[in-house]
Each structure stands twice: as C-alpha cells, then as structure tokens.
C-alpha cells in the first residue's frame, strides 16, 4: 500500500511563477526589463530612482554651495573695486547662475518634505530629474562665468573669452553629447515615464 500523499487540487505541485516571456513585452521597455532582471515592482523601482537622484544631487550640491559661498565673498576683497565694468557684469551674472543652481538643486529635497507621506513619489522622481538637469545647466554656466574673468584678470579679455568658450564646449561634450552618443550607439531610446499607479504583472496561461 502506497504511503505517498495524493496530489491535491488540480493534481499538480505548486510551482514558482515562470519568468515573463520576452514576446509579451514591448522591445526595450524599461519597466519590463526591471521586472525580468531585477524582479522589481514599480514601487521598488521608484524608491531606487529616488535614491539615485538624491545621491547624484548630493555630489553636485557640495561643489555648488562652495562655489556660491566663494563668489559671495569676492565683493569684500580689496581689489574687487579695480575690476572693469565688463568683469563686474560677468561676476553678477555668474553669481546669479550659481545661486539659482543651488536653489534648483535643493528643490527636490524641499518638495520631498512638503509632499511627505502623500504618496507623491512618482511626481518627486519625475520633477527631481528635471531639477537635476536644470541645475547641471546652471552649474555649467556658473563654472564658465568663474573661468572667464579669472583668465581676463590674469592674462587679458580675449584669453578669458577663449577659456570660457572652451569650458562651455567641454561641458556640452561630456554632459550632453557623450551620453547621447552612447544612447544612440546602444539604441537605448528615450527614458520611460514613471508609472503613476503600481502595476502588477499579468498572468499568462
């Protein structure tokens, strides 16, 4: 007499859910890739994206705050009054861009505090991305503005303008063109919009 247990239910053992077939997902869909490779829910994905944004902003904020603090001290230096009108105008523009960059880069943190426990993480991730890109643009302008008058005072105005132009070209190349070139070569496509609602995987029979 057999002592084995008879199968229950449909007569099959419980099995782990099989990975989602490739054919059921749109090609190169980021959410589908996260599900297949990371086994990550949309909420977990938002948490990870938000954590990455905060880490990146933390790196940029430190240098931006130091630069802004340095610029704020320049008018109180003895030789500041010796600057020409062009140099003073460029200084004010640089200070404005540096201050704006600092405010923009801190904005995601302020949004997070005001929207805390309101289930607004999709909005925070989307707006945090925009603030980060805007802050980097302002940072590039501020760095250019610092470099131009420095070369102007040390060498001459022409050299200062050339140095500023080189800084702009380098920032555009490394911050914009280089990543976009990789995206084009790897056929990465455009970033996928964050889901507003948590989505559950569909069952396939």
Q: Is residue 201 within 8 Å of residue 186, measured between CB atoms?
A: no
**What is the reported pLDDT for 186?**
76
Q: Is residue 127 within 8 Å of residue 111, measured between CB atoms?
A: yes
**What is the reported pLDDT for 185?**
80
List C-alpha distances in Å: 117 to 43, 107, 114, 124: 14, 17, 9, 12
**What is the reported pLDDT for 97?**
94
Left, alpha or beta for 9 (phi > 0: left; psi -120 to 50: alpha)? Answer: left
**What is the reported pLDDT for 110?**
92
**What is the reported pLDDT for 23?**
34
Q: Which residues of the chain have pLDDT under 50?
A: 1-2, 4, 6, 16-28, 196-205
Q: List the domain boundaries for the chain.
A: 39-146
Q: Is residue 60 within 8 Å of residue 136, measured between CB atoms?
A: yes
Sign of the C-alpha dihedral computed for residues 140, 141, 147 and 151 taken in this order: positive
171: number of Cβ within 10 Å = 17
CA 105 – CA 127 distance, rounded (Å): 11
**What is the reported pLDDT for 36?**
75
Q: Is residue 42 within 8 Å of residue 198, measured between CB atoms?
A: yes
**What is the reported pLDDT for 133?**
92
CA 187 – CA 106 distance, rounded (Å): 33
């Amino acid at each position: 007499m057999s002592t084995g247990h008879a199968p229950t239910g449909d007569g099959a053992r419980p099995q782990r859910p099989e990975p989602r077939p490739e054919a059921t997902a749109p090609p190169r869909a980021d959410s589908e890739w996260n599900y297949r490779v990371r086994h990550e829910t949309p909420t977990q994905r938002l948490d990870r994206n938000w954590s990455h944004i905060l880490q990146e902003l933390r790196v940029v904020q430190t240098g931006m705050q130091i630069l802004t603090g340095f610029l704020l001290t320049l008018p109180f230096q003895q030789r500041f009054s010796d600057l020409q009108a062009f140099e003073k105008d460029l200084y004010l523009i640089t200070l404005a861009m540096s201050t704006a960059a600092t405010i923009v880069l801190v904005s995601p943190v302020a949004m997070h505090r005001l929207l805390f426990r309101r289930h607004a993480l999709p909005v925070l991730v989307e707006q945090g991305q925009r603030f980060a890109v805007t802050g980097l643009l302002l940072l590039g302008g501020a760095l250019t503005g610092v470099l131009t008058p420095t070369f102007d005072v040390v060498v001459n105005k022409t050299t200062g303008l050339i140095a500023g132009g080189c800084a702009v070209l380098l920032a555009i190349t490394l911050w914009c063109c280089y990543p976009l070139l990789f995206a084009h070569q790897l056929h990465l496509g455009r970033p996928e919009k964050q889901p507003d609602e948590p989505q559950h995987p569909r069952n396939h029979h």
